[in-house]
Each structure stands twice: as structure tokens, then as C-alpha cells.
């Protein structure tokens, strides 16, 4: 018997149109809690709904506790922010510091950041309609920082 996304969502009391991990509204995939190759079935009680990116990151283990632990530990409570937050974290990994940390004395940069970010969005693409990945977001943040630094006469730390 084929199980619909609506049946899975109803079984778990979750939304049928957004990824249960990142909250992104996209085409959802049925992710086995216990993989079929390890004995998991295709029933609603062994399936969750994830976007393609989250499905690729989900644990594939015979013990169902790991998928649930992963979902609880990495799930966002705010819709459509998960991948942006991951982008800010990716920036720290790539550049070894928090984004915009050099601008403590520059005043309110909200308007400038929004303008510059809008320009950077035009220079990016997402893959398969899934939104921007964390490394692309990190690069956008780096470009916004670079342009802000030029405008405000601030020297950024070397990102070797």
C-alpha cells in the first residue's frame, strides 16, 4: 500500500507541506526512520517528511532513536531560517570569526546590509529549487562584509 504525505503528517501530527527539520516549503520526500534496506517498512509510522537537503543529511541507522534524536537536535522552530543560520555558522568555519564582528563601532548597518545582501542574491543560484546552501550564504555574507568595510574604512582580518 502506498502511503501519502498527508497520511504521514496526520500520523505524526505534523505539517504536510514543510520539511519537518528545516521548515522550508518545498517538494518533500518520504524519509524512512528505519531504512528499508535495514528492515524498515513503508508505513506511516516509519516515515517522516523532509526536503531533499535534509533527507540527504538524515541518519541511516537501524535504531530509530537516532533519527528522532537528530530531528530534535537540529530542527528549527522558525520557518525558513534553518539554512540561513547554517550559512552564518559556515561563515565562522570558513573565516574563523563571527560575521560582521569587525563593525562594532560602525553604528546601525541594517539598511546597508539589506541593500548589499539584495545585490548579492542576484549573484547566486540555488540548486534544484531547494534554496541557497550554507556555503553560498557564507560567501554572500563575506561579500557584504567586504563592501561594508570599504564604505566604512575598516580593515577585515585576513581569512587565510
pLDDT, one tens digit per residue, over 23-48 is 888 889 999 999 999 999 999 999 99
86 and 148 inside one domain: yes
Q: Is the confidence at residue 117, as pLDDT, over 60?
A: yes
| Residue 101 maps to a domain | yes
Question: Residue 134 burial (CB < 10 Å; 0-12/13-18/19+)?
Answer: buried
148 and 105 inside one domain: yes
Which structural domain, as residue segments, surrounds residue 65?
5-74
- For residue 49, the cross-strand partners are 30
The H or E element that residue 11 is part of is: helix 5-12
Q: How far is the C-alpha of 46 from the C-alpha of 31, rounded, in Å?
A: 8
The confidence score (pLDDT) of residue 30 equals 96
Determine the 3-state secondary structure of 47 from DSSP: strand
| Residue 158 maps to a domain | no
pTM of the model: 0.69
97 and 148 inside one domain: yes
| Residue 160 maps to a domain | no
Amino acid at each position: 500500500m502506498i502511503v501519502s504525505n498527508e497520511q504521514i503528517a496526520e500520523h505524526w501530527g505534523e505539517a504536510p507541506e514543510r520539511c519537518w527539520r528545516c521548515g522550508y516549503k518545498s517538494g518533500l520526500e518520504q524519509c524512512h526512520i528505519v531504512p528499508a534496506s535495514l528492515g524498515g517498512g513503508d508505513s506511516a509510522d516509519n516515515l517522516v517528511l523532509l526536503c531533499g537537503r535534509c533527507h540527504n543529511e538524515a541518519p541511516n541507522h537501524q535504531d530509530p532513536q537516532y533519527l528522532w534524536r537528530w530531528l530534535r537536535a537540529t530542527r528549527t522552530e522558525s520557518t525558513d531560517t534553518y539554512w540561513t543560520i547554517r550559512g552564518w555558522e559556515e561563515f565562522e568555519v570558513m573565516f574563523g570569526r563571527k560575521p560582521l564582528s569587525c563593525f562594532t563601532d560602525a553604528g546601525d548597518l541594517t539598511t546597508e546590509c539589506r541593500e548589499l545582501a539584495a545585490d548579492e542574491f542576484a549573484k547566486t543560484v540555488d540548486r534544484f529549487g531547494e534554496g541557497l546552501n550554507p556555503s553560498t550564504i557564507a560567501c554572500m555574507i563575506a561579500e557584504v562584509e567586504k563592501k561594508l568595510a570599504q564604505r566604512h574604512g575598516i580593515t577585515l582580518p585576513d581569512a587565510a
